[in-house]
Each structure stands twice: as structure tokens, then as C-alpha cells.
């Protein structure tokens, strides 16, 4: 069975739909929790399912290096191996390959430091972690890189990325692409896009398992002309659209979505890679994005932050607060009074504050579970608002 997508109801560009896969249906719009290494951090598959998750995204790069796609295939594939038994998605592994040795600058956008590109070779002369000074090597064939685990050398190509993803057995997979730096000028971005186009065609040509839905990834940096060209290219060659690349600002992100939606077919599902702030969720869905993934809920949960709904939650505090604050030591209220997750139904802020201060592992579970449930529930509310012609009112209530 090849996955299919059907739009049920629209509210201008926003839409509610269903992606049907061999492992079950995904009602969209949908938040996709990230289980990088086959596990959503600090949350069991059972708890994840009870929180309302429909699909999990795992990372090709990490699973290829450890434990290896051949083992996972022998274990029955990603979904069974995880005891998830529901839809899964894998990325191409490209982002992690290109992110080796990066720093975060310019609003947290990842890109290569001190980057020098010579004849399709990227090096980093100031990166001490790579011994020879080479971060990774990009050729027409693919990318040669060093494992973050043991420093061993590996190569990832469009063909090997697809082969790995087919052995992992996810329902939704992603073509291999080049990650441009947000600091690239027009000429460098164009060359990166041209390489991505060639790699994506090779990804498509190498796909053998047609029961997996292959997403083409749009690129083009901050340049409208290149983004438009990329959107048309992906729309022509793929049945599903993933919006990738680096974004310099929220406005740039929203512009990219608008340019992409305008130049891609309405009947194809659209996935946005790596976005999960509350205001962004409303904005991207309003512009026509169907699914999105992000590590924010579990990442901030492990550092003590938890999501809160209006009126306590707002754009000013980014709809979150810190359980480590002294004010929560004697607070008998749940994390969020409007949330019905397991954490909020059973525990007080005071108890979770105590756990976090004591560095008890349960605190990471309870905070992460709440945050994931929070985004899943918000996305469900948005879907219902689209079905009930109430999306503008819901957005106004939050933003």
C-alpha cells in the first residue's frame, strides 16, 4: 500500500486532511514528535500513544551509525523495533552530516563555521575535532564524514540514504539534499540548490519500496527566485513536499512557506522540518503546512521548562515557564490548568519542582510528557477549528 493524502476541509490555505499509511492513518495537521535514535527522549511509546501522538520521526544518520539499519530490518523494521506499531518517518540524515562541527549563530540557526568550499569540498581549518582539519567532504557522489561516536569515516549518498531508509522501513521517507548555509550569497545558494536537485533525482531513481512515500525537499535559502524554482522542481518530481533549508528570521520562514505553497500542487502533503514554537505552529498551518516535527518539547522539558496556555502563557514568555523557579516550591496547581495530560492530572508543580531540584529522572519524564502532549493537543484543537470554521478565532485566542 502506497501512502495517500486527502484534504477533508480547508480554511483558506489551512487544511485538515488524512495521510493513509500501511501502519495507520495520520490526521492532519499533525505534530510529529522526534525520536532521534528510535526513542522520544524520556517518554515511552505507551505514554506517547496515550498522549495522542500519531507518528514519530527517527533519524537516518544516528540509526545508521548505531545500531545499524540491517539489525533494525531483522527486528521487523523501525515501528516494530520501537514497539510503536504506528506510522513512522525518517529524514535523510543529510542535516546531521552537514551539521558536524557547527555552532549556533544568528538566532540559533545551524550552519558550518569558517566554511571554505573548494571544488565541491568543504573543510574547516579551525575545527580541532576532525584531526586533519577536514569537517566533511562533499562531491557529486555524496558526503564523506566522520562518525560522532568513534571518529570512523563513512559516506552517505542519495542511493545509500534511500537504501538505509528502506531497510528502516518508515512509512514516510525523505530524499537526500544539500544543506545550504544561511550566510550563502545568491550564487552559492544556487549551486547548492542545483546539487540538491541532482541528488533528489538520484534518490527517487534508487527507491525500490513504493509503499514508502518519498518527500522531495525544497531549498533556495532566502531567495524567492530560487525557492520558487525549487518548489516547482520538487512538485514536478515528487508526490510529497518537505520544506527544508535554513531560515534567517520568522518572516523569512513564512515567506518561504508562501512561495512554496504557491508553486506546489494542493493535493500533495507538505511537511516542515524542525519547527515547533507556538506562534510558528499557528502561522505555518495557516499557510498550508500539514505536518511538522521538532525536538523543542522534550529538549526544554529536560532543562525544566514547561508549556502554559493563555492567559498565563503568551508571546511575551513564549508560552513557557521554568519549574526551577522558587515560586513553584509550594504551588499545588498542575503544570497547566487547561491540560489533561498524565502529568497535570496527577502531580503538582510543587512535586515536580522538588523532583527537578533533586535531579530525579521522573521530572524529565513528567515535563517532557506534558510538553509533547501540549503540542499534540494544540494541533488537534487547530484541526478541529479548521473543520468547524473557527480557526481565526482560535488563533486570536492564543496570539
Roughly what angle, to the nearest 10 degrees, separates helices 391-398 and 278-286? 160
Three-state DSSP at 259 gives helix
Rg (CA), the chain: 21
Catalytic positions are: 91, 293
Cα(150)–Cα(244) distance, integer angstroms: 29
Do the beta carbons of residue 121 and residue 137 sit within 8 Å? yes
β-strand partners of 121: 118
Minimal CA–CA distance to 288: which of 237, 250, 241?
241
Question: What do you get for the CA distance between the two ends of the chain, in Å?
Answer: 40
Do the beta carbons of residue 275 and residue 253 sit within 8 Å? yes
Instruction: Transcribe 162-223 into DSSP letters.
Output: HHHHHHHT-SEEE-------TT--HHHHHHHHHHHHHHHHHHHHH---TTSEEEEEE--TT-
> Exposure pattern of 279-289 as b/e (b: 16+ CB <10 Å)?
ebbbbbbbbbb
Cell of 242: 518537505
Please, what sign has the CA dihedral across residues 146, 147, 152, 156? negative
Q: Residue 224: which residues within 8 A CB-CB, separation 6 or more?
A: 255, 259
Amino acid at each position: 500500500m502506497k501512502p495517500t493524502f486527502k484534504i477533508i476541509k480547508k480554511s483558506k490555505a489551512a487544511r485538515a486532511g488524512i495521510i493513509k499509511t500501511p501502519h495507520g492513518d495520520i490526521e492532519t495537521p499533525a505534530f510529529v514528535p522526534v525520536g532521534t535514535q528510535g526513542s522520544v527522549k524520556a517518554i515511552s511509546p505507551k505514554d506517547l500513544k496515550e498522549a495522542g501522538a500519531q507518528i514519530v520521526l527517527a533519524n537516518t544518520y544516528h540509526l545508521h551509525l548505531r545500531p545499524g539499519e540491517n539489525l533494525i530490518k531483522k527486528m521487523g523494521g523501525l515501528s516494530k523495533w520501537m514497539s510503536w506499531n504506528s506510522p513512522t518517518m525518517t529524514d535523510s540524515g543529510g542535516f546531521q552530516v552537514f551539521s558536524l562541527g557547527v555552532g549556533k549563530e544568528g538566532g540559533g540557526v545551524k550552519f558550518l563555521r569558517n566554511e571554505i568550499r573548494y571544488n565541491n569540498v568543504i573543510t574547516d581549518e579551525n575545527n580541532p575535532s576532525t584531526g586533519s582539519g577536514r569537517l566533511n567532504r562533499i562531491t557529486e557522489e555524496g558526503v564523506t564524514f566522520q562518525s560522532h561516536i568513534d571518529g570512523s569515516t563513512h559516506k552517505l549518498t542519495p542511493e545509500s540514504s534511500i537504501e538505509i531508509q528502506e531497510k528502516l522501513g518508515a512509512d514516510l521517507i525523505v530524499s537526500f539534499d544539500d544543506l545550504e548555509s544561511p550566510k550563502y550569497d545568491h550564487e552559492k545558494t544556487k549551486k547548492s540548490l542545483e546539487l540538491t536537485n541532482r541528488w533528489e533525482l538520484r534518490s527517487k531513481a534508487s527507491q525500490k519500496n513504493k509503499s514508502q512515500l518519498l518527500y522531495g525537499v525544497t531549498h533556495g535559502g532566502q531567495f524567492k527566485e530560487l525557492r520558487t524554482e525549487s518548489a516547482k522542481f520538487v512538485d514536478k518530481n515528487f508526490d510529497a513536499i518537505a520544506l527544508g533549508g535554513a531560515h534567517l528570521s520568522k518572516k523569512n520562514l513564512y515567506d518561504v512557506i508562501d512561495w512554496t505553497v504557491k508553486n506546489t500542487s494542493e493535493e500533495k502533503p507538505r511537511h516542515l522540518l524542525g519547527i515547533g514554537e507556538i506562534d510558528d505552529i499557528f502561522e505555518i498551518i495557516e499557510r498550508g503546512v500539514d505536518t511538522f516535527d521538532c525536538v523543542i518539547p522534550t529538549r526544554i522539558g529536560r532543562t525544566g521548562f514547561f508549556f502554559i496556555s493563555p492567559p498565563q502563557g503568551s508571546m511575551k514568555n513564549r508560552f513557557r515557564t521554568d519549574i526551577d523557579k522558587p515560586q513553584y516550591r509550594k504551588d499545588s496547581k498542575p503544570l497547566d490548568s487547561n491540560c489533561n495530560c498524565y502529568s497535570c492530572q496527577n502531580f503538582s508543580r510543587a512535586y515536580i519542582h522538588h523532583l527537578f531540584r533533586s535531579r530525579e529522572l521522573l521530572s524529565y519524564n513528567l515535563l517532557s510528557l506534558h510538553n509533547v502532549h501540549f503540542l499534540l493537543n494544540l494541533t488537534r484543537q487547530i484541526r478541529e477549528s479548521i473543520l468547524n470554521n473557527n480557526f481565526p478565532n482560535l488563533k486570536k485566542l492564543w496570539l
